[in-house]
Structure 1
Amino acid sequence: MTTVDTGARPVEEIRFGGARAFGVELFTPGEVAEVAAAVAAVPAGLRHGAREVPSLSTIGEAFYLNRERPGYYAACARAENRLLYRHFRLVHERVAVFFEQRYGMPVVYAEDLAVPGFHLFEFPEPGEYPGGGWHVDSLETQVPSLVARRAAITAVVNFTVPFVLPDGGSGLDLEADVPGAPPGRRGGGEPVTVPYRAGTMVFTETELWHRISGSRCRKPGQRRVTHQGHGVRLGDRWLFFW
């Protein structure tokens, strides 16, 4: 791991098998507590249950949970985006400003694409809880409005900011691709686990094979709350969504 200073905030670079991930501390402990309180106080209508994962709910609707109903996803984005942005203004502005400074171009949002949202996992009992399945995001190849502009997309970014973590920890598992692997073969190379730290954003600038790490809970009633988002570069701007 190396640390690179990109202006006001030093960025940690994590190298593994020819791939890279990054970490940057964006929020103070006091701000982390402020965001956690905003999550607890979010209007009920902005929190959605995940049909396939009973322990998961989301603030805002994520596209990957609504691939089969893009019309519903777009309708939720149009109805909720302004409310979500205002309620979590500190988060959206801090993340956007970091990337605007890193890339030297503005971050924008689209009316029919959800603004970056939140995952909320509930862990009622002590124990070890499994993480997610291995995957790549590649939402630019799935969201209809982005597929139509795919030739104009020149870069991607995927980011997560943990705000509430179980007392035994959690993180992000990543694997590099095997050099020379055939098209479509992802992962299988050097692995790394990036431990989550509240207020520290983890991000990647390529589509990497990854999954949520398992969570360990020593006490009952634990949660994991993370802010999630994706970005695509279109010309001289970045479009952020979830």
Structure 2
Amino acid sequence: MITDLPLLTAEGSDDVRERVYALREHWIARGGDPPAFLTLGTPSYLDVAERPESGHYQRHGVGSRALLRTHFGDLYDVVGKALTDHLDAPVHYPEHLALPGFHIWLEAAIFTRPQAPVHFDLQYEAFDWPPGTDTDRLLSFTLPLRVPAAGGGLNLWEATYQDFRRSLARGWVESAADLKRFHTLRYVPYTPGHLYVHSGHVLHQVAPSSAVRPGDERLTLQGHGVWCDGHWLLYW
């Protein structure tokens, strides 16, 4: 259901974190006052799926590619190689889509209860894909760079999007979260510097931390992939 690929050393994770903080003027606040949940980059689940009419994804996502490539080009190369080796297929970052970017949860945004949405990654549905695309072959990946002192990770249930569609058609559930009643929770703790890869069509949720301490943060690189004509298209 999920694969754990060691990728960066502790020093490598700290180096990427420093570069993220060096670009703090480019962070986008995503809620809270003062803002404590922010992004560096342009996530499609916020900027296309939730507000397609705004045009923000196209303007900012494509416009920020040069900035992110300049400062994190080596990271994209390392992630791309790791995914190529793991998937046994080449990967590509399409020019018309946003590069994988960063979730930044500062201390005030870190939660200790399971309040994050339980979901499948369906943002690919907001795009028109080229011929040869198979939207049944998907992936999502997370590279944590910093987690709270008490830990951070992902909640998973062994339920797929196909399970949800069947259950919905039969009237057994009304929402994806209803599937939790029928499947066992698995908690996946994150290790900074490790790359976590799953299909995106497995039921999941950002897991809460057991406690929040002064100076805590949760910093991750996030991305998705769609299979297209012999290679993977990576984006956010």
2:15 is the alignment partner of 1:34: yes
Contact 2:91 2:233 in 1 (8 A): yes
- Residues 51 and 125 (structure 1), Cα distance of their counterparts in 2 relative to 1, 3 Å cut: closer
Alpha-carbon distance in 2 for matches of 1:180, 1:127: 29
Counterpart of 1:200? Answer: 194
2:128 is the alignment partner of 1:145: yes
Alpha-carbon distance in 2 for matches of 1:211, 1:169: 15
- Residues 151 and 199 (structure 1), Cα distance of their counterparts in 2 relative to 1, 3 Å cut: closer
Counterpart of 1:99? Answer: 83
Contact 1:154 1:234 in 2 (8 A): no
Q: TM-score scaled by structure 1?
A: 0.81
- Residues 202 and 107 (structure 1), Cα distance of their counterparts in 2 relative to 1, 3 Å cut: same
Counterpart of 2:59? Answer: 75
- Residues 126 and 34 (structure 1), Cα distance of their counterparts in 2 relative to 1, 3 Å cut: closer
Counterpart of 1:13? Answer: none
Alpha-carbon distance in 2 for matches of 1:43, 1:152: 36
Amino acid at match of 1:145: D
Equivalences for 1:1-242 in 2 at 5 Å? 20-42=1-23, 44-45=25-26, 47-51=27-31, 54-66=35-47, 67=49, 68-69=51-52, 71-124=55-108, 128=112, 130-141=114-125, 143-146=126-129, 152-153=134-135, 155-177=137-159, 182-184=166-168, 186=176, 187-188=179-180, 189-205=183-199, 207-242=201-236
Identify unmatched segments of 5+ residues in structure 2.
none
Amino acid at match of 2:226: V
Q: TM-score scaled by structure 2?
A: 0.83
Higher relative contact order (CA 8 A, sep 6+): 2
- Residues 135 and 206 (structure 1), Cα distance of their counterparts in 2 relative to 1, 3 Å cut: closer
- Residues 97 and 151 (structure 1), Cα distance of their counterparts in 2 relative to 1, 3 Å cut: closer
Figure out how many residues of one structure are paired with residues of the other and give that number: 220
Contact 2:110 2:217 in 1 (8 A): no
Contact 2:36 2:108 in 1 (8 A): no
1:75 positional shift: 1.2
1:22 positional shift: 1.1
Alpha-carbon distance in 2 for matches of 1:126, 1:49: 15
Q: Which structure has the highest strand share of the two?
A: 1
- Residues 126 and 208 (structure 1), Cα distance of their counterparts in 2 relative to 1, 3 Å cut: closer
SS of equivalent to 2:119: coil
Contact 1:25 1:200 in 2 (8 A): yes
Identify unmatched segments of 5+ residues in structure 1.
1-19
Alpha-carbon distance in 2 for matches of 1:112, 1:125: 31
Contact 1:123 1:217 in 2 (8 A): no
Listed one character per residue, the Cα deviations across residues 94-140 of structure 1 (whole Å, up to 9, x for unaligned) are: 11001112223321122221100000001149983655110101222
Alpha-carbon distance in 2 for matches of 1:163, 1:110: 24
Listed one character per residue, the Cα deviations across residues 131-180 of structure 1 (whole Å, up to 9, x for unaligned) are: 51101012222x2223x758644511100011011111111001112897
Contact 1:120 1:226 in 2 (8 A): yes
Amino acid at match of 1:86: T
SS of equivalent to 1:215: coil
